Amino acid sequence: MPKATVKVPTPLRPLAGGASELSLEGSTVGGVIRTLADANPGLKRHLFTTEGRLRNFVTVYLNDEDIRYLERESTPVKDGDVVSIVPAVAGGSPASVRTPHREAKVRDVAPPADEPFSRDELRRYSRHLLLPEVGLAGQKRLRQSKVLLVGAGGLGAPAALYLAAAGVGELGVVDFDAVELSNLQRQVLYTTPDVGRPKLTAAKERIEALNPGTRVVAYEERFTSENALEILAPYDVVVDGTDNFPTRYLVNDASVLLGKPNVYGSIYRFEGQVSVFDAKRGPCYRCLYSEPPPPDLVPSCAEAGVLGVLPGVVGVLQATETLKLLLGRGDPLIGRLLLYDALAMSFRELKLRKNPSCVICSANPTQKGLIDYPAFCGVPSPDAAPSASTVPEVEPEELRAELDSNEPPFLVDVREPEEWAIARLPGAHLIPKGELAERVDELTGASRLVLYCRSGRRSSEATRLLLDLGFSHVRTLHGGINAWAQRVDPSLPQY
């Protein structure tokens, strides 16, 4: 007889001996479910009516298909198939399926050795205390836990709010930015009056207002090879909410060297990735990508938009993994890379394997310390050596005067059409940087060229390209259209 894996949903697990999945025999889906019910009498009335039919609020899937669209209970089962029971869930309220076994377990939890929870704390955390998987003991573990958030941006903001709400005792936060208006589309930790304030000042106020029981330790500095180990050492878990590769590698390497789990999250436009890198139990980030990509293959963060809610989803997934690690509950995303696609609204999972010759987490690592890579996305650094200084520049005021003269230069906007739609210089010609090499013919008639982008970075690279192609009179607008808007034409929006 074929054997199928039966996935038992959380509310029914107490009635199935706590198992999340079981391997059971049966030639049809109905047969497999009946085997399950026969072995666990408490389940029977939840799954079947007195007439012996599957209850209509119990949905059963065979692999990824609802059996109602197959042959229902008579759907044949092959060896290795997965049968999932998906019960209707009202949401919000505590689990309705309770058993003496679970209740006894909650009562068995030893009272906290030190400081008991106050009446207010018991009320604040009551929805956690009702969960057998958290309870008083778990809540106390959270209160004693320390989590380091590297980055208080799109990912760090929701993670910080939920970790504080959950009662994590200490949140260390590393960030040195000020709040910008364009952050508010996704960085829900900040409010409109916070614009211009240091992120950490605003974050500390907001987190402590949410939960005075959470201490916030602010590290208002760049995370570097100099300070990474010292900052991370006191923490139980690190949440990687950075927006750039150099910091990601530092977070990974410091976590491996100190033996701390690293809850990784990243976002790009409509897609997110989440994993847990814990070199003691699985792969690290370098097992996946041993080196950062070269700077010229990385899209600049400023060029890449992001759906505002996306970091919310990914940051909350990171907070979930963090709480599971702190509580020692559930299956962490170790060795698994979760891919989230907001447009398709799909989650996929890829297996991640530990690289036996990983440079940092293998038995014989070749890398024994931390490495500072030059910054090339999001965080400017003196080491980044942008080509800007090596190409001719024009200041916004000079360009204004030249455009007003009898021989104005030919203006080329190398941004994307979406940016062109926000603001542009009068008389400019749009050629996105990626199309420039193919469209140089459009420029051969011009005697003098000025290229511009948002902040001057892309147009510097484009200027370098044109100089290399043999154009002689090419300059880049220093500071881009944003500098022009600041210094020449305040009526233009900055973005």
Q: Which residue lies nearer to Zn ion by CB, 99 or 362? A: 362
> Taking the complex as a whole, how short is the minimal distance between the CB of residue 285 and Zn ion, in angstroms?
7
What is the pairing mode between strands 65-66 and 170-174?
unpaired
Instruction: Candidates 250, 267, 284, 333: give the one binding Zn ion (CB under 5 A).
Output: 284
**Please, what is the minimum distance in Å from the beta carbon of residue 358 to Zn ion?**
3
229 φ/ψ angles, rounded to the nearest 5 degrees:
-65, -40
Rounded Cα gap, residues 149 and 483, in angstroms: 33
Active site residue 377: no
The dihedrals phi and psi of 474, each to the nearest 5 degrees, come to -125, 135
Shortest gap between Cβ of 446 and Zn ion (angstroms)? Answer: 51
Stretch that binds Zn ion, among 110-118, 150-158, 358-366, 468-476 (CB under 5 A): 358-366
| Residue 166 makes contact with Zn ion by CB under 5 A | no
Nearer to Zn ion, 107 or 351 (CB): 351
337 binds Zn ion (CB under 5 A): no
Cβ 283 to Zn ion, closest distance in Å? 6
Minimum CB–partner distance for residue 427 and Zn ion (Å): 53
Min CB(329)–Zn ion separation in Å: 25
User: Is the separation of the CB atoms in 144 and 192 below 8 Å?
Assistant: no
Contact set for Zn ion, span 85-114 (CB under 5 A)? none
Task: For residue 361, indicate whether it is catalytic.
Answer: no
Cα 354 to its chain centre, rounded Å, is 21
The residue within the footprint of Zn ion, chosen from 60, 173, 287, 319 (CB under 5 A), is: 287
Q: Which of 321, 301, 313, 316 is nearest to 340 (CA)?
A: 313
Q: Which is nearer to Zn ion, 58 or 371 (CB)?
A: 371
For Zn ion, which stretch binds (CB under 5 A), given 145-153, 154-162, 350-358, 436-444?
Answer: 350-358
| 347 phi, psi to nearest 5 deg | -120, 135
Q: Are 492 and 484 in contact (CB under 8 A)?
A: yes
Which position has the token pair 């197959």?
70
Q: In this structure, how many other beta carbons lie within 10 angstroms of the beta carbon of residue 199?
A: 26
Question: Helix or strand or coil: residue 36?
Answer: helix
d(C-alpha 450, C-alpha 395), whole Å: 11
Is there binding between residue 238 and Zn ion (CB under 5 A)? Answer: no
Query: Any idea what DSSP says for residue 55?
Result: P
DSSP 8-state assignment for residue 424: -
Q: Is 276 in the site for Zn ion (CB under 5 A)?
A: no
State the virtual CA torsion across 249, 251, 253, 255 in degrees, nearest 10: -160
Q: Which stretch binds Zn ion (CB under 5 A): 170-178, 185-193, 282-290, 422-430?
A: 282-290
Q: Which stretch binds Zn ion (CB under 5 A): 186-194, 246-254, 351-359, 416-424?
A: 351-359
Give the count of residues interacting with Zn ion (CB under 5 A).
5
- Which is closer to Zn ion, CB of 167 or CB of 282? 282
Residue closer to Zn ion (CB basis): 34 or 286: 286
One of 287, 301, 358, 361 is an active-site residue; which one?
301
Check binding of 286 to Zn ion (CB under 5 A). Answer: yes
CB of 365 to Zn ion, least distance (A): 8
Amino acid at 233: A
Segment interacting with Zn ion, rule: CB under 5 A, options 296-304, 309-317, 356-364, 449-457:
356-364
Nearer to Zn ion, 62 or 287 (CB): 287
Q: Determine, following the binding rule CB under 5 A, whether residue 358 of this chain makes contact with Zn ion.
A: yes
CA pseudo-torsion sign 165, 168, 169, 170: negative
361 binds Zn ion (CB under 5 A): yes
Closest CA to 256 of 231, 230, 275, 229: 229
Using alpha carbons, list the distances in angstroms from residue 403 to 373, 411, 444.
Answer: 40, 9, 19
Q: Where are the alpha helices (DSSP H) in 225-309?
A: 228-232, 245-258, 285-288
Which residues are identified as catalytic? 301, 453
List residues near Zn ion by CB under 5 A.
284, 286-287, 358, 361
